[in-house]
Chain A
Amino acid sequence: MADAQKTAARVVPDERGRFGEYGGKFVPETLMNALMELEQAFEEARRDPSFREELYGLLTEYAGRPTPLTYAERLTEELGGARIYLKREDLNHTGAHKLNNALGQGLLAKRMGKKSIIAETGAGQHGVASATVAAKLGLSCQVFMGEEDIRRQSLNVFRMKLLGSEVIPAVSGSRTLKDATNEAIRHWVSHVDETFYVIGSVVGPHPYPYMVREFQKIIGEETRSQILDMLGKLPDEVIACVGGGSNAIGMFYPFIQDESVALRGVEAAGLGVDTDKHAATLTKGRPGVIHGSLTYLLQDEHGQVQEAHSISAGLDYPGIGPEHSYLKDTGRVTYAAITDAEALEAVQLLCRTEGIIPALESAHAVAEAMKRAPQMSKDQVLVICLSGRGDKDVLTIQDALAPKQEGDNQA
């Protein structure tokens, strides 16, 4: 715990909410006061022992934390290199890491006296987490979701409704996470006095990237102490998938100062980074402003935001958290990209060797580990952040694998 606090003292965004040059508050004036109030409320809450206690109580007694760190013995044997451990965020209540942050922000909303929360969602995991928190804390909840994602993730849509939330389709643009976020911001601007906007990733204007990191860093803090307990040493490498980047920041942040630990973020390469169908923001984008934050962005020469593509709805986002942009530029984290096809391979391998169906998002991290582990020695340790479970994706996976099973080779 003392260690974790020491690391938390460093690389905080500055008072303007900048991580190096990235971040900031590029939002309409109407929202500025709300962001300043949020910043103040969050700072007070995180220092308040009763808030921390209440959140910790929910994380342990409701969400089921700490999540296990599982030695993936058969996956390790199959790949023939580094010892692989899985941080099991898939076993968190609601099936993904998203609940850690939704609980934190939900409690903060309640503390600020807000009666309703709104959220954006891509794959539906953050929407489900927000709907869950709203039910648990007695708040009303509206979730904005792209029409295309509603189609891809119908099970999660039903889940949110079952939990008592309203799901509002976003019909503009590519009808995915980017557009759901636009609609959520528009709604927030109109209802800023009474509504708390629960952003689901380390994106958006300050203080969101910072606040969401603080609520997610429990992933890395647990992992760090679990691996020290199990092996008496730190891992050599940690891999996490990156869409907006909240599971990755949550996992990486407590390791930032451990220079012996290589950190690797994995973006979605979609059909390939040299096609126009990918979501590899750090690999192919350049700095720009999206959703209130200066960060790497997929955009054309005029600064129009480009549509992203990934088989995984949670990674299908043309921006990325500003702290990742900073970590890329400083070189502390390296970023790779994994294609749809490679992610599907990884889903099947993890199912077959470990009896775990990973979310398509998390499968990108597994796929990168399939490349990395064989290059590492058997006494080295590699940790994968398994950010979510794949139940929500089984129909997508079934569809994607169907042609191959019929012998119809996709080029």
Chain B
Amino acid sequence: MTTTPANRIDRLFADRSRKRFIPFITVGDPTLEATYQVIQGLAEAGADLFELGIPYSDPLADGPTIQRASQRALKNGVSIKDALQLVVRLRDSGMEAGLVLFTYVNPVFQYGIERFFADLAASGADGVVIPDLPVEESGPAVAAAQKHGVHVISLVAPTSDARIKMIGEQATGFLYCVSSLGVTGARSELRSDLTDFLARVRESTNAPTAVGFGISTPEQVRTLAPHADAVIVGSAIVREIERYESELRDPATTGEAVGKIKNFVHQLTSALQ
């Protein structure tokens, strides 16, 4: 009897022959309804797993694009609860893609660690990325996540050096490989030593690897895809959402705007295999 993993991230990466695409978008940017529609559109465009950003007042790992998205979403009062409700709605609609929340650590602490992971699992989400929770501080969160069958996604950076092995050995779900120093945001050029870094990471871990931070073009996706199991694109998509903000706010033009964003993402997913 073959067992299908219960967690959708594990299910997704059970087959590593295909490269996967992971878009990041901020929940509630510009509205919760628009986020729902964009996710449906991007799933059709080939997104395999979503990183759903919970807006934060002080997003210190994020560059200007995602900071602005956070501000727009915060004006709508979007919180962890709204993101979990969005996940429930997506699952109710039959969405099968992996869904991972992205949140800074303080909102999780205030929500309560145990309650957060219980509710995360109950909503149908598969894991969480917490960029300001390094391995040294993640013990209680990882314990709660394991209990509820979801993953705390670890990050590894080009500056991690000797830490790569330690992080790689503990990684579950997938390992988020930070492709450039600095904050999130599209970059015209990627580090020349990036493939060496990705090779070192893959040697250190059994977990699937996903590379992100600064990736914005189909060429960059094409270059990096052979060196990881998945490619993450955030700011470049958020920038498209920003471009069509007013259309996304108006129910009459939402569909058309989603179509344009979908086309943009389709170019990225087409560069993957």
Interface on A for B, CB 8 Å cutoff? 16, 24-34, 172-173, 178, 182, 185-186, 189-193, 287-292, 294, 297, 299, 301-305
Contacts and interface: CB of A to CB of B under 8 A. Distances in A.
Nearest to B161: A33
Shortest beta-carbon contacts, A-B, top 9: A190-B182, A303-B110, A303-B107, A30-B157, A304-B57, A303-B106, A289-B106, A302-B79, A29-B155
16 contacts: A24-B137, A26-B134, A28-B61, A29-B160, A30-B157, A30-B181, A173-B58, A178-B58, A185-B60, A186-B60, A288-B110, A290-B106, A294-B109, A302-B107, A303-B108, A304-B57
A290 B57 CA distance: 11
A305 B58 contact: yes
B118 interface: no
Contacts of A173: 57-58
Contacts of B132: 26-28, 289, 292
B109 A288 contact: yes
Which of A16, A29, A294 gathers the greatest number of chain B CB atoms within 10 Å? A29
B58 A182 contact: yes
Given A29-B167, A193-B159, A186 B131 contact: no
Contacts of A191: 181-182
A175 to B, nearest CB: 13
B102 interface: no
Interface of B: 56-58, 60-61, 63, 67, 74, 79-80, 104-111, 131-137, 154-163, 167, 178, 181-183
Contacts of A301: 110
A186 B131 CA distance: 13
A305 B159 contact: no
Nearest to B63: A186
A26 B60 contact: no
B3 to A, nearest CB: 32
Given A172-B67, A189-B61, A305-B58, A32 B134 contact: yes
A367 to B, nearest CB: 30
B60 A34 contact: no
B79 to A, nearest CB: 4
Nearest to B183: A186
B137 A302 contact: no
Contact of A28 (B58, B79, B131, B135): B131
A30 B191 CA distance: 15
Given A192-B159, A304-B57, A29 B110 contact: no
B183 A189 contact: yes
A28 B157 contact: yes
Which of A24, A30, A191, A192 gathers the greatest number of chain B CB atoms within 10 Å? A30
Contacts, number: 114
A16 B136 contact: yes
A42 B163 CA distance: 20
Given A28-B61, A185-B60, A289-B109, A33 B137 contact: no
Contact of A32 (B105, B106, B110, B160): B160
Contacts of A25: 134, 136-137
A305 B106 contact: yes
Contacts of A192: 159, 181
Contacts of B106: 288-290, 297, 299, 303, 305
A371 B93 CA distance: 64
A41 to B, nearest CB: 16
Contacts of A30: 157-160, 178, 181-182
A351 to B, nearest CB: 37
A16 to B, nearest CB: 7
Given A28-B155, A29-B156, A289-B132, A182 B60 contact: yes
Contacts of B134: 25-29, 32
A26 B58 contact: no
Nearest to B131: A28
Given A28-B155, A33-B163, A304-B107, 20 more contacts: A26-B137, A29-B167, A30-B158, A30-B159, A30-B160, A32-B136, A186-B60, A190-B182, A192-B159, A193-B159, A288-B110, A289-B105, A290-B58, A290-B106, A291-B60, A292-B132, A294-B109, A303-B110, A304-B56, A305-B57
A31 B182 CA distance: 10
Contacts of B160: 29-30, 32-33
A308 to B, nearest CB: 12
Contacts of B137: 24-26
A231 B44 CA distance: 80
Contacts of B162: 33
Which of A28, A31, A190, A192 gathers the greatest number of chain B CB atoms within 10 Å? A28
B55 to A, nearest CB: 8
A297 B63 CA distance: 24
Contacts of A291: 60
A290 B109 CA distance: 12
A33 B159 contact: yes
A287 B106 CA distance: 9
B110 A299 contact: yes
Given A24-B137, A26-B133, A301-B110, A32 B61 contact: no
Contacts of B61: 28, 189
A218 B135 CA distance: 35
A165 to B, nearest CB: 22
Contacts of B104: 289
A204 to B, nearest CB: 11
A374 B134 CA distance: 50
A24 B139 CA distance: 13
Nearest to A171: B64
Nearest to A206: B136
A293 B86 CA distance: 31
Given A28-B131, A28-B157, A32-B163, A302 B110 contact: yes
Contacts of B57: 173, 304-305
Contacts of A27: 132, 134
B107 A29 contact: no
B114 to A, nearest CB: 16
Which of B63, B108, B157 gathers the greatest number of chain A CB atoms within 10 Å? B157
Contact of B183 (A33, A190, A290): A190
Nearest to B130: A26
Contacts of B135: 29
